[in-house]
Chain A
Amino acid sequence: MAMARIAVHKFSSCDGCQLQFLTLEDELLQLADRLEIAYFIEATSETGDGPYGKYDVSFVEGSVSTPDEVERIRKIRENSTLVVAIGACGTAGGIQALRNWGDLDSYKTSFYTMPEHIDALPTSTPFSEHIHVDAELAGCPPDQGQLKYVINSLLAGVQPRIPSESVCLKCKRDGNVCVLVAQEKPCMGPITRTGCGALCPHQERDCYSCFGPAETANIEAMGRRFIGAGLPRDGLVHRLRFIYSWSPPFKAASERWLAGQADYAPLPTSRTVTPP
Chain B
Amino acid sequence: MNDVSGQAQGVRRVDIPILTRVEGEGALFVRLENGQVTDLRLKIFEPPRFFEHFLRSRTWREVPDIVARICGICPVAYQMSASNAIEMAFGVDVPQPIRDLKRLYYCGEWIESHALHIHLLAAPDFLGFPDAIQMAKDYPHEVRRGMHLQGLGNAILKIMGGRPVNPVGAVPGGFYRAPARGEARDMLHKLKEALPHAEAMVRWVGNLKVPEVTRDVPSVSLRADDEYPMNYGRIVSDRGLNIDVSEFPQHFQEFQQPHSTALHAHLHGAPYWVGPAPRLNNNLDRLPPSTAKLLGETPVAWPSNNPYHSALARAIELHLAMVEAIRLLEAYDKPPKPHVDVVPHAGVGAGCTEAPRGILWHRYELDEQGRVTHATIIPPTSQNQAQMEADMRTSVMESLHMSDEGLRLRLESGIRNYDPCISCSTHFLKLTVEGR
Contacts and interface: CB of A to CB of B under 8 A. Distances in A.
Interface in B98-146: 112, 116, 120, 124, 130-134, 136, 143-144
Contact of A32 (B25, B133, B430): B133
A83 to B, nearest CB: 19
A32 to B, nearest CB: 5
A15 B154 contact: no
Contacts of B423: 13-15
A140 B71 CA distance: 12
Interface in B254-288: 255-256, 258-259, 261
B31 interface: no
Interface string A139-156: 011000000000000000
B69 A118 contact: no
A242 B424 CA distance: 19
A19 to B, nearest CB: 5
B49 A16 contact: no
B21 A203 contact: no
Interface in A7-29: 10-20, 22-23, 25-26, 28-29
Interface in B27-84: 46-54, 58-59, 62, 65-66, 69-73, 75
Given A43-B120, A96-B50, A203-B168, A14 B18 contact: no
Nearest to B52: A111
A264 interface: no
B133 A25 contact: no
A131 interface: no
Contact of A14 (B59, B71, B168): B71
Contacts of B131: 43-46
Interface stretch (B159-167, B224-232, B235-243, B385-393): B159-167
Contacts of A114: 256, 258
A55 B1 CA distance: 17
B298 to A, nearest CB: 26
A96 B67 CA distance: 11
A226 to B, nearest CB: 14
Nearest to B149: A25
Contacts of A112: 256, 428, 431
Residue among B166, B175, B429 with the highest chain A CB neighbour number at 10 A: B166
A204 B176 contact: yes
A15 B24 contact: yes
B177 interface: yes
B20 A140 contact: no
Interface residues of B, number: 71
User: Binding site of A, secondary structure by majority: helix, strand, loop or mixed?
Assistant: loop
B169 interface: yes
A23 B133 contact: no
A23 B113 CA distance: 10
B176 A47 contact: no
Contacts of A203: 161-162, 168-169, 175-177
B150 interface: yes
A41 B47 contact: no
A91 to B, nearest CB: 15
Contacts of A120: 47-48
A74 B242 CA distance: 52
A50 interface: yes
A42 interface: yes
Contacts of B20: 41-42, 44-45, 47
A251 interface: no
Contact of A46 (B52, B130, B171, B421): B130
B147 interface: yes
Interface in A195-253: 196-197, 199-200, 202-205, 208, 210, 235, 238, 242-243
B313 to A, nearest CB: 21
A141 B133 CA distance: 23
Interface of A: 10-20, 22-23, 25-26, 28-29, 32, 37, 41-47, 50, 65-66, 69, 94-96, 98-99, 102, 107-108, 110-114, 117-120, 124, 140-141, 196-197, 199-200, 202-205, 208, 210, 235, 238, 242-243
22 contacts: A12-B46, A15-B24, A23-B112, A23-B165, A25-B150, A29-B136, A29-B147, A43-B131, A45-B124, A45-B130, A50-B1, A96-B54, A110-B53, A111-B50, A111-B431, A112-B256, A119-B47, A120-B47, A140-B166, A141-B72, A200-B162, A200-B168
Given A18-B72, A95-B54, A205-B168, 15 more contacts: A11-B47, A13-B72, A14-B70, A14-B423, A17-B72, A19-B73, A23-B112, A23-B116, A29-B133, A29-B136, A41-B21, A66-B47, A102-B53, A110-B430, A120-B47
The 9 nearest A-B residue pairs measured at CB: A16-B72, A44-B131, A111-B428, A199-B162, A15-B72, A205-B176, A96-B49, A98-B54, A14-B72
